Amino acid sequence: MKETILTITLNPAIDKTVRVDNFKIGKDYREKALSLSAGGKGINVSRVLNKLKVKNIASGFIGGSNGSFIKDQLAKEKIRYSFFQIKENTRMSLTVLDGKSKTITRVLERGPEVSPTELKSFRKLFTSLLKKSTYVIFSGRNIPGAQDTIYRQLIELAKRNRVRSILDTSGPALLKGIRKKFFMLKPNLAEAEQILNIKINSLAKVKQALYGLHNLGIEVLALTMGSKGAVAYDGKEMVVARVPKVKAVSPVGCGDAFIAGFIASFSRSKNLGQSLKAGACAGTTNALNITPGHINISDLRRISKKIKIKNI
């Protein structure tokens, strides 16, 4: 039976976070890692879906000792996965948190390169996973070796298998990915501005952006705006969610948590407003933690009471 939500992370990473107060360029620091976690945007979505008790499976490319670490980590967290094993080693990303200046500096490796044969075999694995899935969530950037049209191709495969696609990426893979009609897009402000080549700095511009994106043939849009909340549009209704002011520890992965919350709700309720509220709630709760996706259910319940939704 089709009941699983499939998350795709093409280029996962071990996320290493260190805290260095008064961080300066050109200096040496001897700090202990604060956390070492299985990272990647689709993995973050899976982690939050797990917290929300929604059946899901994480897939993408994985390889080498870093890949093994990620798989061990996912097994410990009881996140189901079915990754395609590649020859090269999965990447590691470094985040430096400066507790004094409250800044975050990130160094992101490019990641391993996949071969044409590996890509072809991945498509087979992906197609078999679609047979059990209701929704597929594509999160994060492309992996070296794959064409920028990769999401467009995978969305087409999903369509043929009657699986609804949700796309959350940026850069060239986003611009190429949207050249196809599909279920849902979740851009943040910068990504929406990139697609439409406009500056979104007012409510009128938010509306213009949502109409513009809907005209591309995307059924549901959720535009997330960090601490300013989010707006959703499905061609009939436009709903805005205002979120409470919180002591944000790290905004990394808020968009991933948003998608998990939104789809967890939408797959049950099919209601735009309720799903927007659930998404914004998961996103805001995620900002309270250092590690993406490690949300606390009691925080989630507390935040939920403070989220206001309104039709506009």
Ligand X SMILES: Nc1ncnc2c1ncn2[C@@H]1O[C@H](COP(=O)(O)OP(=O)(O)OP(=O)(O)O)[C@@H](O)[C@H]1O
Where along the sequence are the contacts to Mg ion (CB under 5 A)?
A: 255
Q: Give the residue, chosen from 4, 37, 188, 275, that forms a contact with ligand X under the rule CB under 6 A.
A: 188
Task: Return the residues of window 127-146 that contact ligand X according to CB under 6 A.
Answer: none
- The answer to whether 40 contacts ligand X (rule: CB under 6 A) is no
Q: Counting contacts by CB under 6 A, is residue 8 touching ligand X?
A: no
- Stretch of residues binding ligand X (CB under 6 A), selected from 28-36, 81-89, 203-211, 277-285: 277-285
Q: State in angstroms the smallest separation of the CB of 228 from ligand X.
A: 8
How many residues are present in the chain?
Answer: 312
Least distance to ligand X, CB of residue 43, Å:
12
User: Per-residue x/- mask for ligand X, residues 282 to 311, rule CB under 6 A?
Assistant: -xx--x------------------------
- Distance of alpha carbon 277 from alpha carbon 262, whole angstroms: 8
Q: How far apart are CA 39 and CA 68, in angstroms?
A: 13
Nearest to residue 277, comparing CAs of 235, 234, 222, 236? 222
Q: By CB under 6 A, is residue 265 in contact with ligand X?
A: no
The verdict on 192 binding ligand X (CB under 6 A) reads no
Instruction: Please name the helix (run of DSSP H) or strand (run of DSSP E) that holds residue 162, with its range, or none.
Output: none
Measure the CA–CA gap between 47 and 176, rounded to whole angstroms. Answer: 27
Quick check: 15 binds ligand X (CB under 6 A)? no
Taking CB under 6 A as the criterion, the residue among 40, 112, 177, 229 binding ligand X is 229
Percent helix, strand, coil in the chain, to 5, is 40, 25, 35
Contact partners, residue 295, CB within 8 Å, separation at least 6: 48, 51, 257, 282, 285, 286, 288, 289
Provide the 10 A C-beta neighbour count for residue 216: 15
Residue 42 interacts with ligand X (CB under 6 A): yes or no: no
Give the interface segment with ligand X, choosing from 11-19, 25-33, 48-56, 247-255 (CB under 6 A): 247-255
Burial of residue 218, with CB atoms counted within 10 A of its CB: 0-12 exposed, 13-18 middle, 19 or more buried: buried
- In the complex, which residues of this chain contact ligand X (CB under 6 A)? 188, 224-227, 229-230, 243, 246, 248, 251-256, 258, 280, 283-284, 287
